[in-house]
Amino acid sequence: MQIYTYRLYVFDMTLTSAQLRATMGPVHEIAPSGARIRYHETGEGPPVVFVHGLLANAVLWRAVVPGIAAAGHRCIVPDWPLGAHEVPVPEADLTPPGVADLIASFLAELDLEDVTIVANDTGGALTQILLARHPDRIGRVVFTPSDCYERFLPSFFKLLPPLARIPGSMRALAEALRPRPLSSLAFSLLAKRPMPREVVDAYLLPSRRDPAIRQDLGRFLGRITSRYTVQAAKSFPDFRKPVLLAWAVEDKLFPFRLAQRLAGELPNATLRAIGDSYTFVPEDQPQQLTELILEFTRHHAAP
């Protein structure tokens, strides 16, 4: 296995974006299943792997990772190919099961065992599919507000998959999100407080600048359907490893009742409510999320 390490200044990003990422350690690259994945890594100890959602990337976790690493964990924070990545993956299977398989291949390529997965938004749906298909390397899971059951995607975004099947639509979407007021409005559904301009740019500029990234985005979006999450939910009774549901009680897209339903169907689940936050708990309440993750991993540490 070859791992390539990069200094941050080689990337086509502003200094501010590089500084955002610097909290998560050096950047490496591997190619599980032939798809090049860039990831940050920092800390030593039991591995924690982070899974962001659609039109987000590793920057989502920038305020959570330092505390987790300082407490004695190896934090691995990839840019998954969900529209805000910078390395196209034209040969990858970007169906939701294909991305779940890619996550499994990533864990295998790094030879990670007893992994704690921390997931958000679309990344939660992918993690549910991962648990159904490849549970062996997973030791425990933290779900923040995420797609699940029939809500993949939430109703506000239900038109995106059919839109993605129209040629040229991803360029139109990227241009539609170019004006600051419109991009701020879109992210206001996800984060309770306005996100810094440089964070929004980190999420939206890759698809705006690179047609190959837009093609990846369209291939993933166009294949989203709730049948994948509904099917994955059938395996919940068989997944008996510890699960933390760190869920925002005010979330507009993924209501708290979804977390309660998940808690009722996952045999070893703990539900913890997070206030003053929407879907992007790592943006709105990073300190509280960090504390909950550490409390959970301490309580369920491997013997």
Q: What CATH number belongs to 4-297?
A: 3.40.50.1820
pLDDT at position 19 is 86
pLDDT at position 16 is 66
Please identify which residue in the block is written with the tokens 């504390």: 291
Residue-by-residue pLDDT tens, the chain, 303 positions: 444 333 332 333 344 677 899 999 999 999 998 899 999 999 999 999 999 999 999 999 999 999 999 999 999 999 999 999 999 999 999 999 999 999 999 999 999 999 999 999 999 999 999 999 999 999 999 999 999 999 999 998 999 999 999 999 999 999 999 998 888 888 999 999 999 999 999 999 999 999 999 999 999 999 999 999 999 999 999 999 999 999 999 999 999 999 999 999 999 999 999 999 999 999 999 999 999 999 999 999 988
Residue 279: C-alpha distances to residues 8, 22, 67, 190, 209 (Å): 28, 24, 20, 5, 26
pLDDT at position 6 is 33
CA distance 241 to 267: 8
Give the DSSP H or E segment for 119.
Answer: strand 115-121
78 HSE (CA, 13 A, CB side): 28
Q: What is the pTM of this model?
A: 0.94
pLDDT at position 186 is 87
CA distance 28 to 12: 15
287 HSE (CA, 13 A, CB side): 1
Give the DSSP H or E segment for 280.
Answer: none
Contact (CB, 8 A) for 85 and 93: no
CA distance 140 to 245: 11
Q: Where are the domains of the chain?
A: 4-297
pLDDT at position 143 is 99
Transcribe 80-106 into DSSP letters. -SSSS-SS--TTS--SHHHHHHHHHHH
